Structure 1
Amino acid sequence: MDRDQLAEFLRTRRARLTPREAGLPAGERRRTPGLRRQEVAQLAGMSVDYYIRLEQGRGPHPSRQVLNALARALMLSQDERAHLFHLTGQALEQPGAAGRRRGDVPANILHLIHFLEEVPAFVLDAKYDFLAWNPLARAVMQGLDSAGPEQPNAIRWVFGAPDLADHLADEEKSRFARAAVADLRAASGRYPGDAGIRALVAEMLALSPEFAALWDRHEVEVRREQRKVIHHPLVGAIEATCQVLPVPDRDDLRLVIYTTEPGSPSHQALRELRRLIAAAGHAGWNVG
């Protein structure tokens, strides 16, 4: 159980919730945003002293009943509720989850992305390392093969970019950065003993104030689908839906596919990019 992370998570979730959202009277003017500790305890049906000890990182190990009550009181999303359980070492039960472990990309997934010739497709692990990709993915994202000795990593790319300020000023790109950090926060709860995730977080906290600011929000959200606009120097803008699909029986891996509307200019742009790859003779398929 990570008492410090649990305490911080509870404080940040309490601070974002208004009395009106929680169904409480606003009352007199408040000095700080969010609910008071007494109000959270009241909504969760527990003593104020018990809740205060949890927020101070010195409380007892909460039961599943207490966690469910806190999740309701703080109006947590499904992803946030799962994160709350993970922080206390009480992962939610999931059918078929027994025996899963981190590891290499399954052969059937490698075959799948190889035969997905008309869409960019790649595999990410829980800490956003690129493990495998097809030719269109390499062409669309550019630079996958130039990461040097390190495994290419999406978090490092975003927050280590020299044009990060411009990147974050763009609403869509800023939304991706925020979602990626929230997803990494969720992964850190699912895999508390993962040295790779801990090392990446420590590295980014030391190197990127922008990452640190987002990390300190304690936002939690598992990535599933997102709209993206990719500006490619050869074929122009590509409007795509980023589909994030869990790999069966490997909950630490995600298959990511960029799809476009059939017959749209973006679809034609991807076809043109594929033609250029073939003309250049680049196989472009890689396993990290």
Structure 2
Amino acid sequence: MDRKELGAFLRSRRERLRPQGVGLPTGPRRRTPGLRREEVAVLAHISTEYYVRLEQGRAPRPSGEVLAGIADALRLTDAEAGHLHVLAGTPPSRTGLHRREVRPSILALLERLPQTAGFVVSATYEVLAWNSLAAALMEDFAALTPRERNLARRAFLGDGPADGALYGSSQAAEFRLHVVMGLRSTLARYPSDPAVRELVDDLCDGSPEFARLWERHDVQAAQTLTKTFRHPVVGPITVDCDSLGLADGDQHLVLYSAPAGSPDAEALALLAVLGTEAGEFQR
């Protein structure tokens, strides 16, 4: 617990707020910028004495529940709340829901990517957004429900080919292992999210393979650098795989590309012309 930095951070966040912004009267005799300490304490449902001691660096370590109350009172962002917990040396309380909204700038970026199949997945592996080349390479996600767009369900519960391939990929087994490890971490971050728990329960009940891998409690998967798709129209396409974390939404932007001038790049260019109607993978 860094008491000095914690106190300074609390003061800086308190002084930036205005009473009207948190539903309090302004009053004519307010001498200090921002909220008063006693006002923060009331909003956080803690004693004024304890909050004052926190700002002065004299208080014992606060609990996660107390920090959550202070974060709400000070209107902290997710990043600021996480920093608050780090300064206090207290693990953050995990009571939120995983996010499914994609930033407009990322949606625009997907459409501007040249000769690159791109899509965004949530913390539960639901495909949230995609460009036309990703739909041509994999499947027409627009024709599916959100539940059907979940790649974890597609990999373990879908009625795909008998050999277990996923969109013709030869790395399907590796992807399934990656999904199990990823969901293990997701459940730890969102233990109170019913959608996360429902997905894990469905996969455990419906897939013996998932249940077996889940019991291993592994949480770190090797990064996939390349992937080969066996497309029914253009044939095998080997692509470079890049997964970029979108930290503010706990999402990933997945990019499939090929070296310029390579046969794989030419196959992607052909797919871009053909679109989703030419030989998409059947479920």
TM-score when scaled to structure 1? Answer: 0.57
SS in 1 for 2:261: coil
Matched, 1:138 2:139: no
Contact 1:183 1:223 in 2 (8 A): no
Correspondence list, 1:1-288, <5 A = 90=91, 102-148=99-145, 150=147, 152-163=149-160, 166-167=163-164, 172-221=171-220, 224-250=223-249, 252-277=250-275
Mapped partners of 1:238, 1:214: distance in 2: 29
Unaligned runs of 5+ in 1: 1-88, 92-98, 282-288
Letter of the structure 2 residue corresponding to residue 227 of structure 1 = T
Q: Deviations over 1:206-261 (max 9, x none)?
A: 111111111111111267543210111111111112211011422x1111101212
Please give the alpha-carbon distance, in whole angstroms, between the structure 1 residues aligned to 2:153 and 2:215. 18
CA change 1:136–1:123 in 2 (3 A) is: same
Specify the SS of the correspondent of 1:123.
Answer: strand
Instruction: Report the alpha carbon displacement of residue 151 of structure 1 after superposing the two structures with TM.
Output: 5.3
Q: Please provide the CA RMSD for this pair.
A: 3.0
Bigger drift between 160-169 and 140-149 goes to 160-169
Change in 2 beyond 3 A, CA 1:142/1:217: same
What is the TM-score with the length of structure 2 in the denominator? 0.58
| Shift in Å, 1:191 | 1.9
Which secondary structure state, in structure 2, belongs to the residue aligned with residue 179 of structure 1?
helix
> AA paired with 1:262?
A
Aligned residues: 185
User: Partners of 2:263 and 2:239 in 1: how far apart?
Assistant: 11
CA positional deviation for 1:114: 1.2
Note if contact 2:100-2:128 (Cα within 8 Å) is conserved in structure 1: no
Identity of aligned residues (%): 36
Q: CA separation in 2, counterparts of 1:269 and 1:171?
A: 18
**Distance across 1 between alignment mates of 2:157 and 2:185:** 21
Deviation of 1:160 after TM superposition, in Å, equals 1.6
User: Whole-Å Cα distance in 1 between the matches of residues 189 and 203 of structure 2?
Assistant: 19
Once residues 138 and 213 of structure 1 are traced to their aligned partners in structure 2, the CA distance between those partners, rounded to angstroms, is 31
Q: Is the 8 A contact 2:124 2:186 kept in 1?
A: yes
Does structure 2 conserve the Cα–Cα contact (< 8 Å) formed by 1:223 and 1:244? no
Aligned mates of 2:224, 2:139 — CA distance in 1 = 21
* Corresponding residue SS for 1:122: strand
Partner Cα separation in structure 1 for residue 199 and residue 155 of structure 2:
13
Distance in 2, matches of 1:164 and 1:277, equals 22
Q: Contact conserved, 1:123 with 1:253, CA < 8 A, in 2?
A: yes
Give the gaps of 5 or more residues in structure 2. 1-89, 279-283
